Amino acid sequence: MSQYSIAVLAGDGIGPEVMREANKVLDAVEKKFNVTLNRTAYPVGGYAIDTEGEALPSKTLLGCEQADAILFGSIGGPKWDTLPLEQRPERAALLTLRSHFDLFSNLRPARIYPGLESLSPLREDIAKSGVDVLVVRELTSGIYFGQPKGREGEGEEEFAYDTMRYSKREIRRIAIAAFEAAQKRRGKVTSVDKANVLVTSRLWREIAEEVSKDYPDVELDHIYIDNATMQIMKNPAQFDVMLCSNLFGDIVSDECAMMTGSMGLLPSASMNEEGFGLYEPAGGSAPDIAGQGIANPIAQILSAAMMLRFSMNLGDAADAIEKAVVATLEAGVLTGELLPSDKRSQAASTSQVGDEIVKQLMAQE
């Protein structure tokens, strides 16, 4: 029987709540697919600051290094917002993990499933136009990591700066990831930039064009970030793969998540060149709803499915989870944020959605 080890980092806010449901689904996968998914939980984020004194304790990092994959929840929250930037959970834990494992390729798939258009806030004809977008986001460079960063000066003359910086090599490898993905999809890459203003975007465009020559079967076009966010509302079906830098991909992926109905539906995979991956919902710790048992666990569960597909080569199990999720949504077992306000009283809880997904999974042939 195949065996895999997974470092489970639930984190803060809704992280532990939705991770509980992902674990239920992985338990079900073990039974149904005759695999062993050994999971070890490690502290991370604000919880780790409170219990261990730092956001990414060395035992957590070591556990991640020894695992076949990392299943990540979410981190951060108001309690830790006033810490210096470099100690905050977001930078000290999440950005450090991304950088440590060189997880440059972040895949965020957003889809409006046929029959589930009513979940989308988009107008019906737009929601029904066949929306299936993959955001390919560069995750370890750009303005998030560029040096120098800092604050200088005094009084009203004090200023702050970040550096947006991309090398050809960094752009090339994420562009290749986008073209490879497009070949397996509808054969179109839309590269998102701000080449009318930013020098980094000019280089981004140049390299995207260069890479496209190796993929004659894939169409490439370019769009400015401001227009892109507008076009996602107007005509999302025009997009197949959206190739984005770190910051633009962050923004575009939240919009794509909401286009499908909720931040709580969008999973993600962050991979390095060796194929090692960290899997996490695109959304955050949602402090506004944490502790109430109402968070949508689907993004976490679909992130676990991406892990099975990419890190464990268990495509059948991943397909089965995705099918069970769609069946759950079709059955109307929905957390509150997916319902119109006058129907919220009929909402399912986080654990009811997890239970239904397990039920649907086990009921499959």
Q: Is 63 annotated as a binding-site member?
A: no
- The amino acid sitting at 127 is A
Q: Is 293 annotated as a binding-site member?
A: yes
The yes-or-no answer on residue 250 being catalytic is: yes
Q: Which does 61 bind (CB under 5 to 8 A by kind): ligand NAD, Mn ion, ligand IPM, none?
A: none
Residue 337 interacts with ligand NAD (CB under 6 A): yes or no: yes
Of the candidates 27, 226, 234, 343, the residue annotated as catalytic is 226
Q: How many residues bind ligand NAD (CB under 6 A)?
A: 23
The yes-or-no answer on residue 194 being catalytic is: yes
Distances in whole angstroms, Cα of residue 210 to Cα of each of 203, 206, 222:
11, 6, 13
Distances in whole angstroms, Cα of residue 2 to Cα of each of 30, 197, 274, 321:
10, 51, 20, 19
- Residue-wise burial string across 135-173, b where 16 or more C-beta atoms lie within 10 A, e elsewhere: bbbbbbbbbbbbeeeeeeeeeeeeeeeeebebeeebbeb
Q: Which does 350 bind (CB under 5 to 8 A by kind): ligand IPM, ligand NAD, Mn ion, none?
A: none
* Closest to ligand NAD by CB, 264 or 277: 264
* Closest to ligand NAD by CB, 212 or 350: 350
Question: Taking CB under 6 A as the criterion, which residues in 37-76 touch ligand IPM?
Answer: 76
Question: Taking CB under 6 A as the criterion, which residues in 86-115 touch ligand IPM?
Answer: 90, 94-95
Question: The dihedral of CA 187, 301, 321, 118: what is its sign?
Answer: negative
Residue 250 interacts with Mn ion (CB under 5 A): yes or no: yes
The yes-or-no answer on residue 240 being catalytic is: no
Residue 288 interacts with ligand NAD (CB under 6 A): yes or no: yes
Least separation in angstroms between residue 225's CB and Mn ion is 15
Chain positions contacting Mn ion, by CB under 5 A:
250
- Enzyme catalytic residues: 144, 194, 226, 250, 254
Chain positions contacting ligand IPM, by CB under 6 A:
76, 90, 94-95, 250, 282, 284
Chain positions contacting ligand NAD, by CB under 6 A:
14, 18, 74-77, 90, 94, 262-264, 280, 283-289, 295-296, 299, 337
